[in-house]
Amino acid sequence: MPSIRRCGQPATLPEEWDNDPALMRSNVVGFRSRYSHLVRNVRIVAAQPLSNSPLKEDIDGRRVVVGSTSTLRRQLDN
């Protein structure tokens, strides 16, 4: 089995990321992006498909967006 090289996650995103015009348009209410798992603020990724609302509460009671590996794969394959 080949080893997997992991890349570290950046501590912070560049400031301009949140102000990127394409990202802002992709997150307008009602806009349906082909790549929602990449452009929306998905905080938790479940290993199973989700059939209901992707908005859940985390352990601290904050609302978070939950994604699924199957949806991410389908979006990347398109």
Q: Tens digits of per-residue pLDDT, 5-58? A: 666 666 776 677 778 888 888 888 888 888 887 887 777 777 877 766 677 777
pLDDT on residue 6: 63
CB pairs under 8 A, 24+ apart, for 72-78?
A: 72/37, 72/38, 72/45, 75/34, 75/35, 75/36, 75/37, 75/38, 76/35, 78/34
> Using 50, 70 and 90 to split pLDDT, how confident is the model at 62?
confident
- Whole-angstrom Cα distance, residue 44 to residue 54? 10
Please tell me the chain's helix, strand, coil percentages from 3-state DSSP, rounded to the nearest 5. 30, 20, 55
pTM (two decimals):
0.54
- Whole-angstrom Cα distance, residue 37 to residue 15? 20
pLDDT at 1 over 60: no
